[in-house]
A and B are shown apart, each in its own frame.
Chain A
Amino acid sequence: MKAGSNLEKILEKGEFAVTSECGPPKSANGDVIRQKAKLLKGKIDASNITDNQTAIVRLSSMAAATILLQEGVEPVMQITARDRNRIGIQSDLLGASAIGIRNVLLLTGDHQKFGNHPYSKGVFDLDSIQMVQMVKQMRDDKKFQSGEEMDFPPKLFIGAAENPFADPFEFRVARLGKKIMAGADFIQTQGIYDLERFEKWMAGIREKGLHKKVHILGGVIPFKSAGAAKYIARKVPGMLVPESLIERMKKASDAKAEGIKIAVETIASLRKIEGVHGVHVMAIEWEEKVPEIVEKAGLLPRPAI
C-alpha cells in the first residue's frame, strides 16, 4: 500500500470505484461542507475537494478536506499549479498527510482569467506532471523537489486528471503516459459526454498497455438543465458535448430527471469499457443527487474494506 487510503484499497482489490466531488462554498461557512459530507457518506469511496475551481475563490481544499475527514468521508484533496509555488505545494502536502488526508489530485488549473480575480498573478511555478513527479519523489524517495532528504515522508495516493477531449487528440495518450511515468496512481478524466471519442482514447491507452499501469476513473457530470448543458458545451474549457445530448435536455419535460438519466446511462457504458476502473461523479452544487445516481447505476452499497 502506498498510502493506505480507502480509494487505494478499493482499486487495488479490483472493485469498480466511485468518487465524487465537493465544491467548497464561496465563504467561510464550514457547515456547507458538513451538509455535503452527510449526503455523501457511505455512498462513495472518496470525495474530491476542488481547489478554487475555475479560479473562483472558495474555502480552501485543505480545510474542506479536513472537515470531510471529521465527518467520516474520505477526501481527495485537489491542488492546482495556479495558486501556489513548489514551496507552498510541498508544504501543503506535508500538512495534508499530517492531518490524515491520504489522496491528492494534482492539476494545472483553470487560468485565473476565468475566475473572479482575473487580474491576479497566475503562479504556474510547476505544471501538473512536475507536481505528480514531486509528490512521488516525496513519498517514495523521501526527498523534496530540491533533492534534500526528509525523514517522515507524506503518505499520499497520487491522482492526476486527464482530458481525453482536448487537443491535440493524438498527443493525449502520450500525455497520460507522461503522468504515469511521473508517478500517478489514479486518473480522473474530465466529464464524458462523447462516448465515441472517449472509447477512441481508451483504445489508444490500451494499445500502449497504460490501463494496466494506472487506475482510470471516468468522469460523469450530470446536466441540471438545458441551460447548464449549453453552458458546459460552450463556456467551460476542454468540454465536448454532442448536440444530441443538448437536444435531449431541451426536449425533456423534466430536465433534471433527464440529466440524471443521461448520467446513469454514461456510467453503465463506462463499466463496459476495459481499463476503466471506476467513475468520478461531478455533481457540483448538486451533490444531493449523487446518492441517487450511484444507486440507479447499481453501485450501492459501496464495499467496506
Chain B
Amino acid sequence: MIVGERKPIEEILEMTKQYEKLYVAGCGSCVTVCLAGGEKEVGILSTALNIAAKKDGRELKIIEGTIERQCEKEWVREMKNQVKESDAVLSMACGIGVQVVAELYPEKPVFPALNTTLMGYPTQHAIWLENCRACGDCILHLTGGICPVSRCAKQLMNGPCGGSQNGKCEIDPEIECAWALIYDKLKATNRLDWMSEIQPPKRWDLAGSGGPRKTIKEEEVIA
C-alpha cells in the first residue's frame, strides 16, 4: 500500500495560517490504514490547528471530512460542497489524492498535509517497510520473492556488493541486505543457479526514468 506520514505541524501551520476557512480532508484508504490521514488523524490535525489559532487569536473555521478515496474522481466530486465553503483545502491524502483534488478544484489552493513516503507493508503494527518501487518489470519470481529494486540500496541486479556484512546493508546495520536474503531464499529452494548467471542491465525507462508513466487497460477503455 501507499504509506505516508503527516508533515511536521510547523510546516502545516506555515502553509495554512493565512486561511480562515480550512477544509481538512481525509482519505479512507491507504492513509487511513497507515494511520496518517484518515478520519482520526483529520480530527487530531484539526484540533491542533484550532488550538494554534485560538492561542494566536486568529479566526479559524475548520470543516472536517473524510471520503472513501481521494484518487478517484467520482469520490472527489463529492467534496464539492465542503470545498465551496472553504478558502483552502488541506488534504490528508497521499500525493496522488492531493493532485486529483487540485485538478478537480482548480479555483481553491490545495495543500498536502502528508509526505508520501513509500510503497510497502507493515512488518509489525505501525512500522512500514518499503518493498516495491513500481519498476514496471517485476522479477520477484526469480529473486525468491525479494525485491532488489526497492530493498537494495544500489538497486543491483547482480548483488550483493562488497559492503554486505552479516546479512546487513553497508548503509545501515538495521537494514537487511536484500541480496543476502535473496541468496538464502534461493539456496533454501534450490534455485541458486540463477544467481551465477549474469543478469543484464535493467530497463530503467520502465521504472520511471523514461518519464511519467501511464497504464492503460485497453479493453476497458470506452471512448
Contacts and interface: CB of A to CB of B under 8 A. Distances in A.
Task: Report whether chain A binds chain B.
Answer: yes
Contact of B162 (A86, A113, A166): A166
B83 interface: no
Given A122-B154, A166-B160, A167-B180, A238 B198 contact: no
A182 B157 CA distance: 14
Contact of A174 (B167, B177, B195, B204): B195
B115 interface: no
Interface string A55-67: 0000000000000
A161 interface: yes
Contacts of B67: none
Interface in B68-121: none
A167 B200 contact: no
Interface residues of A, number: 36
B12 interface: no
Contacts of B195: 171, 174
Contacts of A114: 170-171
Interface in B162-219: 162-167, 170-171, 177, 180, 183-184, 195-202, 204
Given A166-B164, A238-B163, A178 B158 contact: yes
A124 interface: yes
Given A111-B154, A171-B195, A126 B162 contact: no
A126 B161 CA distance: 12
B200 A130 contact: yes
Interface in B39-56: none
A108 B196 CA distance: 18
A103 interface: no
Nearest to B180: A168
A24 interface: no
A124 B165 contact: no
B60 interface: no
Nearest to A82: B154
B135 interface: no
Contacts of A171: 160, 183, 195
B180 A129 contact: no
A166 B165 contact: yes
A133 B153 CA distance: 22
Interface string A81-94: 11000100000000
Contact of A161 (B157, B162, B166): B162
A113 B163 CA distance: 13
B155 interface: yes
A83 B153 CA distance: 14
Contact of A108 (B156, B167, B200, B204): B156
B170 A238 contact: yes
A127 B165 contact: no
Contact of B170 (A110, A127, A162): A110
Interface centre among B158, B167, B197 (most CB of A within 10 A): B158
B198 A108 contact: no
Interface centre among A86, A129, A177, A237 (most CB of B within 10 A): A237
Given A111-B170, A124-B154, A190 B198 contact: no
B156 A237 contact: no
Contacts of A108: 154, 156, 161-162
Interface of B: 153-167, 170-171, 177, 180, 183-184, 195-202, 204
Given A171-B195, A175-B158, 11 more contacts: A82-B154, A108-B162, A110-B163, A111-B163, A124-B156, A130-B201, A166-B165, A167-B166, A168-B167, A178-B197, A237-B165
Smallest CB-CB A-B distances: 7 pairs: A163-B162, A237-B170, A237-B163, A129-B158, A127-B156, A108-B161, A124-B154
Interface of A: 81-82, 86, 108-111, 113-114, 122, 124-130, 133-134, 145, 161-163, 166-168, 171, 174-175, 177-178, 181-182, 190, 237-238
12 contacts: A109-B154, A111-B153, A111-B154, A125-B204, A127-B159, A127-B161, A128-B158, A129-B158, A130-B157, A166-B164, A167-B165, A178-B196
